[in-house]
């Protein structure tokens, strides 16, 4: 029986993760800003589900909630940083408030939960931190630049965290999902559009008009269970064929560009002795 701590547990992928963990007999501390949608699960799994309201941007509240979950269950095994928001808009259009708000949840929220959980995982010398990243962490795309930036930042600290935590037996995985039928897109905020980008927006609208075939969140939950069951989980896990193909395409393109500019890159380096320091 594992003990999970899942943020953004009230809907979408977070709800699916919570259900999957409970169905297999595990215990879950499910947190979200609005927990009303979790009442049915709380009634059904009273002894194995702890529901708490939490705004992950409130660092003090995060530490208190993680502590309460640990005290309630006695341990934490899987920490899933799933809470997230999406802002849509061209880079030039974002206000400072909008830009900071995107990072407050997607980056700082995950950072606070990670910092709060690590002491417990270190002490028990085991655990698995799962950062729910995104296809947007593979590259930047028009209108999702700020969202991509927040996920790039999350992956940056997660790579470092994986190396820092390994000595304590704590594992870290970044999960990069593709499209799932959640309300992430319907609940996203949008910048005030500038008329100069009207043509690009029309082109994007034409591309999106073809529609997308997204998946049921339960499939992501099934993949997550396989991930945490693995004795040797990967640092990154792609979820979905589209994301899988896109990741390889972006990587190949980058490698081709690096190779084409190899001569310039190598010429920019020539080791020399340290310069003398003069008073």
* Bridge partners, 130 (sequence order): 80, 173
Enter the pTM of the model.
0.92
Residue among 134, 147, 158, 191 flagged as catalytic: 147
| Model pLDDT, residue 71 | 98
Q: Of residues 151, 158, 171, 180, which has the active-site annotation?
A: 151
Residue pLDDT, tens place only, 7-19: 999 999 999 999 9
Query: How many Cβ atoms sit within 10 Å of the Cβ of residue 63?
Result: 16
Please say if the pLDDT value at position 273 is more than 70.
Answer: yes
The per-residue pLDDT for range 25-67, each reduced to its tens digit, is: 999 999 999 999 999 999 999 899 999 999 999 999 999 999 9
- Residue 223 burial (C-beta neighbours within 10 Å; 0-12, 13-18, 19+): middle
Query: Do 147 and 102 contact (CB within 8 A), yes or no?
Result: yes
Active site residue 187: no
Sorting pLDDT into bands at 50, 70 and 90, what band is 171?
Answer: very high
SS3 278: coil
Judge whether residue 180 has pLDDT over 70.
Answer: no
Torsion, Cα of 25, 230, 75, 108 (10° steps): -110
pLDDT value at 147 more than 90: yes
Question: What are the tens digits of pLDDT across the range 126-141?
Answer: 999 999 999 899 999 9
Angle between helices 145-165 and 96-103 (to 10 degrees): 30
CB neighbours of residue 59 within 10 Å: 15
Determine what percent of the chain is predicted with pLDDT higher than 90.
83
Q: At 23, list the tokens.
A: 């169905």
Superfamily of domain 3-239 in the CATH hierarchy: NAD(P)-binding Rossmann-like Domain (3.40.50.720)
Concerning whether 185 is annotated as a catalytic residue, the answer is: no
181-222 per-position pLDDT tens digit: 556 666 678 899 999 999 999 998 888 776 566 778 899 999
Tokens found for residue 84 = 């997230």
The pLDDT score that the predictor gives to residue 195 is 93
Residue-wise pLDDT for 101-132, tens only, equals 999 999 999 999 999 999 999 999 999 999 99
10, 133, 148, 158: the active-site residue: 133
Q: Is residue 102 within 8 Å of 87, Cβ to Cβ?
A: yes
Overall size of the chain counted in residues: 279
The domains of the chain are located at: 3-239, 242-270
Answer for the pair 228, 127: CB distance below 8 angstroms, yes or no: no
Is 151 among the residues known to form the active site? yes
């Amino acid at each position: 029986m594992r003990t999970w701590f899942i943020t953004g547990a009230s809907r979408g992928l977070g709800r699916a993760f919570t259900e999957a963990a409970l169905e297999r007999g595990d215990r879950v501390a499910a947190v979200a800003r609005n927990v009303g949608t979790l009442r049915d699960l709380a009634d059904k799994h009273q002894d194995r589900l702890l529901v708490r309201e939490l705004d992950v941007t409130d660092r003090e509240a995060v530490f208190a909630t993680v502590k309460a979950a640990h005290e309630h269950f006695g341990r934490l095994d899987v920490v899933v940083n799933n809470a997230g928001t999406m802002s849509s808009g061209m880079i030039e259009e974002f206000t400072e408030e909008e830009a900071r708000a995107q990072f407050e949840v997607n980056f700082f929220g995950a950072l606070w939960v990670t910092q709060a959980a690590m002491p417990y995982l270190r002490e028990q010398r085991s655990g698995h931190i799962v950062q729910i990243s995104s296809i947007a962490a593979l590259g930047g795309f028009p209108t999702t630049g700020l969202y991509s930036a927040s996920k790039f930042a999350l992956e940056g600290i997660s790579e470092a965290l994986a190396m820092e935590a390994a000595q304590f037996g704590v594992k870290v995985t970044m999960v990069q999902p593709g499209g799932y039928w959640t309300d992430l897109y319907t609940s996203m905020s949008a910048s005030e559009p500038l008329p100069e980008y009207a043509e690009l927006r029309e082109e994007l609208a034409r591309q999106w008009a073809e529609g997308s075939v997204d998946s049921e969140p339960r499939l992501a939950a099934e993949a997550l269970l396989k991930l945490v069951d693995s004795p040797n989980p990967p640092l990154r896990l792609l979820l979905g064929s589209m994301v899988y193909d896109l990741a390889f395409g972006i990587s190949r393109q980058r490698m081709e560009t690096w190779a084409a500019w190899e001569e310039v890159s190598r010429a920019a380096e020539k080791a020399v002795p340290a310069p003398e320091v003069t008073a």
